[in-house]
């Protein structure tokens, strides 16, 4: 392992579904892999609304941030991937609840499909404290 990068594994987040780390610390930033709305306890997709699933993605990201000694509120950039852009308003409302002030930069991207049949996935780049 290079001293310039440090992989992070979060016990409170769903297990990685492939050969990737939950996140990697490098250059004062935390690069978080995308989180789908999997329940960390069961590994199953959560039900409910797209807003509920968006919240689960962000809760999973928060667990990854905590494992690295950061907070989701330290995010500087997020990307949201959705399989139906018609859900944008509901996704946006759920996302806004996690960033009530000074939200990070963000983009939302419509995609044809996501892993495990998810309809939303979110990744983040987070600033680490000095």
Q: Is the pLDDT of residue 3 over 90?
A: no
What does the DSSP 8-state code read for residue 41? T
Please check the confidence at residue 79 and state whether its pLDDT lies above 90.
Answer: yes
Could you tell me the pTM of the whole model?
Answer: 0.95
Closest CA relative to residue 55, chosen from 22, 115, 97, 13: 97
How far apart CA 32 and CA 88 sit, in angstroms, is 22
Residues 6+ apart with CB under 8 A from 15: 43
Is 71's pLDDT higher than 70? yes
Cα(118)–Cα(22) distance, integer angstroms: 17
Domain 6-127 is in which class?
alpha beta
Which DSSP symbol is given to 48?
Answer: S
Going by the DSSP 8-state scheme, the letter that residue 87 receives in this structure is G
pLDDT digits (tens, 9 = 90+) for 80-110: 999 999 999 999 999 999 999 999 999 999 9
Residue 59 above 80 pLDDT?
A: yes
> What are the residue boundaries of the structural domains of the chain, listed by start?
6-127
Q: What pLDDT sits at residue 2?
A: 53
Element (H, E) at 6: strand 6-8
């Amino acid at each position: 392992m290079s001293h310039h990068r440090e992989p992070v594994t979060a016990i409170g987040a769903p297990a990685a579904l492939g050969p990737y780390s939950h996140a990697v610390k490098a250059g004062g930033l935390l690069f978080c892999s995308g989180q789908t709305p999997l329940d960390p306890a069961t590994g199953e997709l959560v039900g409910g609304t797209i807003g509920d699933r968006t919240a689960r993605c962000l809760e999973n990201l928060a667990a990854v941030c905590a494992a690295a000694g950061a907070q989701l509120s330290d995010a500087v950039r997020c990307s949201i991937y959705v399989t139906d852009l018609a859900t944008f308003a509901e996704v946006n409302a759920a996302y806004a609840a996690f960033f009530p002030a000074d939200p990070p930069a963000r983009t939302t991207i419509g995609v044809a499909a996501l892993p495990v049949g998810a309809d939303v996935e979110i990744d983040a780049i987070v600033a680490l404290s000095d």
